Structure 1
């Protein structure tokens, strides 16, 4: 295990980004839908959109949504406190302010708090779209910080399938202490096809990890043991292009175990927490578009999220907690034909969620069950002045059962200031008002962990958050050989909600934390990247994000927001055309943990290495080492939030057949 942080590596990596002779790759820009809820190429979308492609997922062997997103520039992943999962932060705004969707429909947050990105497998994913800031009028509450939309694959004509198996080891941190033992296993199966008007897809995914420990002889386990199973099914009837009805269902189950100790002088008392999570998700929709541009779509969601967790001290049951979260969502949209170079769009979203949570038979929520309903209406006008100039104007009205009505306008501009054979330059500017009502956990939740020294209590007096988000950036492309992207952002937030050490009070030796509104806060920064196709076989990308945050009432920096983040990607295909080597490097500067104690978590750098070998067009073997330099936090330092897992090596095989 090493605390080594190779900062001198960054200037050298910058040198690799100098232009060199390269052939035009000839790739077409992918189609994205999140920015305007209409299909546009990535180059033509008026709102800046970042993409995780299927090729990137395959190259890096990402197994879940957390692993797929970890190389998005400026995106911060954090462990969910008390759970075996990860949440996301964008542009200095927290996970509660980032809306996560699957095909445009929301994902239920874990116990109505934050979305756990580790719970979503990638068996059926085509690509992932990321929008930062409150730049789109189509998404309401919870989209202040941005939108992450997972786009699933649509089956191709014919029949095909794919099987993936891989296994890995944490080396000397395996629970057995044996370096060669298998500590993690993963399997994935996908069957899909289409015949005539019918399309179908079946998927299954299992991730089974024993976890890891820095001391195999000790009771405590720093990496939790987690078993995750997900099953998906999709059926669609599409009699004509642009017209169809579909049904999609998934079943998810997670079994997790945490092992740790608490001090009861003079002894260390072993503790065990187990949690079983079941999530059933059913979605359906219809999409009907005509040749003249008139179209409509309707989508509906019902998701049941159940959690049962138990805590034991010395094998004696101390806590038995159950939670049931139900989410219903209905979305409808009408696209009007082109009228005087204008594309009008109107839509509505109806949303309801209900939460029950009990500990040892007593409700942890004020009033037993808590519910929330909202009705939202949006109108958008996409004005196409020319192929080079586009203006999108939108407004969204939200009526919430607890907080009443609110209106949020938004605008976005795209200007192609260069549009020649070799060069293309695009300016994008947007401004939008964000709005988020406190979720059910923030207002009503009571999480009593007094046995290990803390409690979290909801605050029913919280006010909704509101923000104004400004984005201004440019993208400069030279053929398909070089892309330079620079974007500045400024988010000014009123009544920002957060909970951390500074919102805690010591009550008879127990730290009691609560959610609180910070009257005024701001986040601002610059996101930059350069991507080069240095040759047909070698490409690289380097991205750097600078973020500055401030509590405007106190002048202090907001906690858990690093100032500097960088991401490096290198992709090399050997002359044989069957071997591909990829490297992904990530750097994060130190981050403030407590303003009262002036405590900081150290900076860190990690590097992942992957190798893909195509044995035949259908058979691929692959290998990888995550965290190549074994950078890991100091577990004896409570203020160290560096990488949790150390070096992890794995081997795998993938076989596919038929239509893909």
Structure 2
């Protein structure tokens, strides 16, 4: 209750000290390259569904200024988002305390979360294709359906512009890293297209010079941290009339990567994980979608899309760090295939002064198939031995959603949004289906020019994944759907000297949260988790060629379940502070610098002892010079400029100072 009082006071007191310019918003805006059919939510009014909650956008211009090639590193400066390189060897994106499996990742509106465990790997998505990254936090539109308890990340790709243009880029860095990528796009009349491809490889990343060798990890190159990636992407758009748009998107990715093991031994450190020597020896992903929109009348419009995703993956768990033999207890060699296919349809009706009404229907079928061999201990005592057993498993689930959303502005400067969706979950091997509803209610009000207040309340649901239901050692077929009740209030305020400020408070009660219970190593529904906090973003663009942005997140993540043995949930930093600045001169020189500081996060041993992780600050910087009328540009990028030795998960050190250099030719 104390947090609700603070949130309400914050909303109504902040306007008293503010200026009176335009609404707070980043000056980095989308350009005309956005593939419009990649949107899931289309606002009917500036006071619509995306104005009542928190939606933060990252356009291509910012991605280029920052210079990173990893989507997780693009968004890790946003408030409320914590990205961490997990033991699985891929980045995880947490939002407001929720894990990445509680975040929907979409590419042009199509879900990319794994059909097996609900996770995703943002690092496989090439940033050169991206026109905008839209992050919608907990009180998002019900048109997204179930799953996004923490939020929704929709990556919207580029489309071709009139004429023909292109780009070729080469980049190299430490540890035999290289990247080659190119893109070409164009448009003529009703047809536009965008085509890109990339190839990248890394031998290993280097740990900080301040890292001290352990029995499991030497100084220098991080064990088993190599990767290879190949990507190809294409979209084509066709606009036969002003009222009709059609589009087709295709992408494919393939490669391999290692999963760096823990650097600490559990035999000497109770907080460490057991070292695992695992690799994804190969993966291959295919994805396509067809979409279209049509204005039937000046008041009625129709949008729809169909999609198909396929991922083939070969994974091995080895006996030791030689990565050669598979023969001991718990090791395996597995080839898996996951398929996801579905369709969605939206109809939108303009009620004129009475608002906008949108009906959304969607369905998705997820399939998982695994083949291979695993090694298990059988017998006991002197008869104990390890035997190989075949892996031969396949599962299937279907999910359906019907949603209705209403947006209205009954009086000037006031917007109201109401939405309800019902979701049905049909696991193939269960007689009883799960079904549950989610809803959204919110409003936004322009108090005066330059001051907007907003508040919203939402109920979100997420159904258990195939892994949580059916995993051979930890699955639980009696799991219930997870539920989250999110309260949010905030203010967006323009200030003097071309400055903006936004402050948002949130309170989330999560019930039936699914995690492993240590005593049985099975997935269970925990009674109640609570996430609450405040997010602040301030930006200044007083000077035409330089900008500053600062952000702060305060997060309290608690286990409120009856009889719990933990208080603070692990790997949820309580404090996150970010600062960024960018500069662009009249003679083609541009520079970027960013700093992230994270503090007060914890981990636990198997017997629930608590340990604090070290606080850390990491600085990244880039400098670029454009030449020959912006046709050629040369740049240098440094990540972890001060070579900080830090961990995002206990026993898993991150890369030290890493230097990249590159050249880009545009035509």
TM-score interval (norm. to shorter):
0.7 to 0.9
- The answer to whether the 8 Å contact 2:47/2:415 transfers is no
State the SS of the aligned residue for 1:45. Answer: helix
CA distance change for structure 1 residues 25 and 112 in 2, over 3 Å: closer, same or farther? closer
Partner of 1:245: 246
State the SS of the aligned residue for 2:353. Answer: coil
CA distance change for structure 1 residues 374 and 35 in 2, over 3 Å: closer, same or farther? closer
Q: Taking structure 1 as the reference length, what is the TM-score of the superposition?
A: 0.84
* Cα distance in structure 2, aligned partners of 1:490 and 1:286: 38
Residue number among 96, 102, 106 corresponding to 2:101 in the alignment: 96
- The answer to whether the 8 Å contact 1:34/1:129 transfers is no
Which range moved further: 213-222 or 192-201?
Answer: 213-222
State the SS of the aligned residue for 1:221. Answer: coil
Q: Deviations over 1:107-135 (max 9, x none)?
A: 13274330111111112110101111133
- The answer to whether the 8 Å contact 2:47/2:414 transfers is no
What aligned pairs does 1:15-164 form with structure 2 within 5 A after superposition?
A: 30=30, 36-38=41-43, 45-82=51-88, 84-109=89-114, 111-164=116-169
Report whether the alignment pairs 1:626 with 2:644: no
Report whether the alignment pairs 1:557 with 2:568: yes
Partner of 1:385: 410
- The answer to whether the 8 Å contact 2:196/2:233 transfers is yes
- The answer to whether the 8 Å contact 2:256/2:282 transfers is yes
Residue number among 647, 653, 656 corresponding to 1:646 in the alignment: 656
Partner of 2:518: 504
What aligned pairs does 1:493-572 form with structure 2 within 5 A after superposition?
A: 493-499=510-516, 503-505=517-519, 513-553=521-561, 554=564, 556-572=567-583
Partner of 2:626: 614
Partner of 2:189: 196
State the SS of the aligned residue for 1:224. Answer: coil
Q: Deviations over 1:365-420 (max 9, x none)?
A: 9982111111110001110224511111110011111443212221121111112x
What aligned pairs does 1:172-571 form with structure 2 within 5 A after superposition?
A: 174=175, 183-214=176-207, 221-222=222-223, 224-258=225-259, 273-289=279-295, 292-313=298-319, 314=322, 315-318=324-327, 319-360=332-373, 368-402=393-427, 403-419=433-449, 424-446=450-472, 457-478=474-495, 481-499=498-516, 503-505=517-519, 513-553=521-561, 554=564, 556-571=567-582
Partner of 2:7: none
Partner of 2:385: none
* Cα distance in structure 2, aligned partners of 1:517 and 1:195: 55
* Cα distance in structure 2, aligned partners of 1:35 and 1:469: 21
* Cα distance in structure 1, aligned partners of 2:316 and 2:399: 33
Please state how far the C-alpha of 1:632 moved relative to its aligned partner: 2.0
Please state how far the C-alpha of 1:253 moved relative to its aligned partner: 0.3
- The answer to whether the 8 Å contact 1:96/1:113 transfers is yes
Please state how far the C-alpha of 1:311 moved relative to its aligned partner: 3.4
State the SS of the aligned residue for 2:644. Answer: coil
* Cα distance in structure 1, aligned partners of 2:181 and 2:205: 23
* Cα distance in structure 1, aligned partners of 2:293 and 2:276: 55
Partner of 2:665: 655
Please state how far the C-alpha of 1:34 moved relative to its aligned partner: 6.0
Which range moved further: 32-41 or 404-413?
Answer: 32-41
* Cα distance in structure 2, aligned partners of 1:434 and 1:365: 39
- The answer to whether the 8 Å contact 2:591/2:622 transfers is yes
Q: Deviations over 1:329-383 (max 9, x none)?
A: 2110001123333111101010110111234179999982111111110001110
- The answer to whether the 8 Å contact 2:373/2:389 transfers is no
Partner of 2:604: 594
Question: What CA RMSD, in Å, does the superposition of the two structures yield over aligned residues?
Answer: 3.2
* Cα distance in structure 2, aligned partners of 1:567 and 1:607: 10
**Structure 2 unmatched ranges of 5 or more:** 1-17, 208-212, 268-273, 376-387, 428-432
* Cα distance in structure 2, aligned partners of 1:644 and 1:119: 19
State the SS of the aligned residue for 1:58. Answer: helix
CA distance change for structure 1 residues 367 and 617 in 2, over 3 Å: closer, same or farther? closer
Q: Deviations over 1:218-277 (max 9, x none)?
A: 898346100111101212221123412111111110211346599899xx9995634211
